[in-house]
Structure 1
């Protein structure tokens, strides 16, 4: 069924035009935009994200694309073997705050969320999740390489021991950091993003982007995106100053940030995209992997001096550094 008719039949929405925003197809009626999404996980996964989103909307983040109930009063609509939800939002084009301040305030509000999610929470589970990811992806890429003899998979077989080594070092660092006792209220779980790349500046926030985790997740992922780019390294440490002007990081937070920066998440994200692609012999993924490897070398050079660049005396605070960098 065409989406325009779907909106009209099941939601009573007469869309005025089809638009594209942030890589998603939407339908506008007046000031409101509607996005249609297929449910690909169990319902509790989405109800927890809805609860996080509703809490944020009550606390000033009104520009979240949130499920609209259909004409039957249900938040999802079954059709042709799938379940659909319609996300409704009025975009906000306010002047953004400084990046670090915006994220710190978001985390401050999120830390007061009154429930402990289960399906969408990674809080306290990084190490086990990384071990599972390493095991599953290592097996999967080896199986794929046996079936596909192209440059992309050949390069992966060459670099796989290196990625495994990086992963194991990060897992070990986080394991040791879990024993750290110097923590504070800033280490409470909060609403976070799957991969934070400054979405708080966007006119629309997406319900499916939210998770529940330690704030170090967002801090590390945004830092990684900046530290991978030579020209943005000063911006990275300015971001940390801004964040700490609102929320002072504990030693435990610093160790989690560093541990997450050590884990080669961009390589796993690329692997995941490769697994989803039907063809990988067009050279695009191969070129991306080569480019990622070049950036990783420069990135590791920054990690050698990360705490010094961040204005933290790691030796005085007895924050361990990895020896292989």
Structure 2
């Protein structure tokens, strides 16, 4: 691969490195990773533009794609398209406050002047959720007829629950769209597909970037906390949200969006989607069963969400779902 980088990109690297499970190469100041890519070029170009913008604005941990000496994004290796990413050699340092660091990331990202077309979900959640629910209902029923196994029996048994919760989230979101108590911090921003603590990581991968409302990242971080630690997840999220709000206060509209996204069972859809791709039914059965077993605690935490975040939802006239 050293010769591959030299011949196709004019890059001379010195040695191999490992980051997590990825093999990379290093020169004096940068790391290079050769990673497979199955997304279409327009998606990569939009994500690359976001990555370049962040790198130009002092986010040195952005791994962004390079074009070859021939100006090509992709290189075929054994019939698989690959891209080469470049990032400055990571430093082992974390920001003092995760919440304020993400808020500053969002604050800068709102100055990005061009809303992408392929990777933007800004203002589109309701339509995307309806499409997702419809597509998954059809796909799971077709697959269950083809693959008669324990995994798909579990899927079909849980499908009415999945549909019911999704429809509640969509209805709540539809009502939220008429909310007029919003402000400048509700502008679109650079965000992440499924945020956990990406901005704290030594490397931020350009292909994780999307364009959306900032509450996407807040909701996905809280979801991750609740699923990782049902007892302490809300407490762990509270300081994070307070620190975030010290830089970017949330409007009533934002609180309602955040709540709607937490209700929508994205984590269950992600599990189902993984099975469509990997077909490891035994592994996915265990994962889906574990997620479903957690739902009672997850919903219990959502029922306490506004109280734990110290949001006076009653005086602010923020609706809550009483079945939680």
- TM bin, normalised by shorter chain, reads over 0.9
- Tell me by how many angstroms 1:56 deviates: 1.0
Distance in 1, matches of 2:10 and 2:204, equals: 24
- Which residue pairs with 1:50 in the alignment? 48
Select between 18-27 and 244-253 the one with higher mean Cα deviation.
Answer: 18-27
- Tell me by how many angstroms 1:27 deviates: 2.4
CA contact (8 A) 1:174 1:259 kept: yes
1:259-302 CA distances to partner (integer Å, 9 max, x unpaired)? 0000001101101111111331xx32111111111211101001
Distance in 2, matches of 1:79 and 1:277, equals: 21
- Which residue pairs with 2:235 in the alignment? 234
Equivalences for residues 75-90 of structure 1 within 5 A = 75-77=73-75, 83-90=81-88
Quote the RMSD (CA, aligned, Å). Answer: 1.7
Select between 99-108 and 141-150 the one with higher mean Cα deviation.
Answer: 141-150
- Which residue pairs with 1:244 in the alignment? 245
Out of 66, 69, 72, which is 2:67 matched to? 69
Distance in 2, matches of 1:233 and 1:319, equals: 19
- Tell me by how many angstroms 1:85 deviates: 2.0
- Tell me by how many angstroms 1:96 deviates: 1.9
Distance in 2, matches of 1:279 and 1:82, equals: 22
CA contact (8 A) 2:193 2:210 kept: yes
CA contact (8 A) 2:65 2:86 kept: yes
Select between 222-231 and 254-263 the one with higher mean Cα deviation.
Answer: 222-231
- Which residue pairs with 1:256 in the alignment? 257
> Does residue 136 of structure 1 match 2:135?
yes
Secondary structure of 2:18's counterpart equals strand
Matched residue count = 321
1:245-266 CA distances to partner (integer Å, 9 max, x unpaired)? 1111000000000000000011
Out of 8, 21, 29, which is 1:23 matched to? 21
CA contact (8 A) 2:25 2:33 kept: yes
Distance in 1, matches of 2:285 and 2:74, equals: 39
TM-score normalized by the length of structure 2: 0.94
Distance in 2, matches of 1:116 and 1:180, equals: 23
> Does residue 7 of structure 1 match 2:8?
no
1:147-184 CA distances to partner (integer Å, 9 max, x unpaired)? 22221111111111001111111011111101000000
Secondary structure of 1:236's counterpart equals helix
Distance in 2, matches of 1:223 and 1:291, equals: 18
Select between 69-78 and 315-324 the one with higher mean Cα deviation.
Answer: 69-78
- Which residue pairs with 1:112 in the alignment? 111
CA contact (8 A) 1:92 1:204 kept: no
Select between 26-35 and 248-257 the one with higher mean Cα deviation.
Answer: 26-35
Equivalences for residues 28-43 of structure 1 within 5 A = 28-43=26-41
- Which residue pairs with 2:302 in the alignment? 303
Select between 155-164 and 5-14 the one with higher mean Cα deviation.
Answer: 5-14
CA contact (8 A) 2:234 2:308 kept: no
Distance in 2, matches of 1:143 and 1:21, equals: 39
Secondary structure of 1:259's counterpart equals helix
Distance in 2, matches of 1:93 and 1:41, equals: 31
Distance in 1, matches of 2:49 and 2:124, equals: 21
TM-score normalized by the length of structure 1: 0.93
- Which residue pairs with 2:172 in the alignment? 173
Q: Tell me, which stretches of 5 or more residues in structure 1 are unaligned?
A: none
Q: Tell me, which stretches of 5 or more residues in structure 2 are unaligned?
A: none
CA contact (8 A) 1:7 1:13 kept: yes
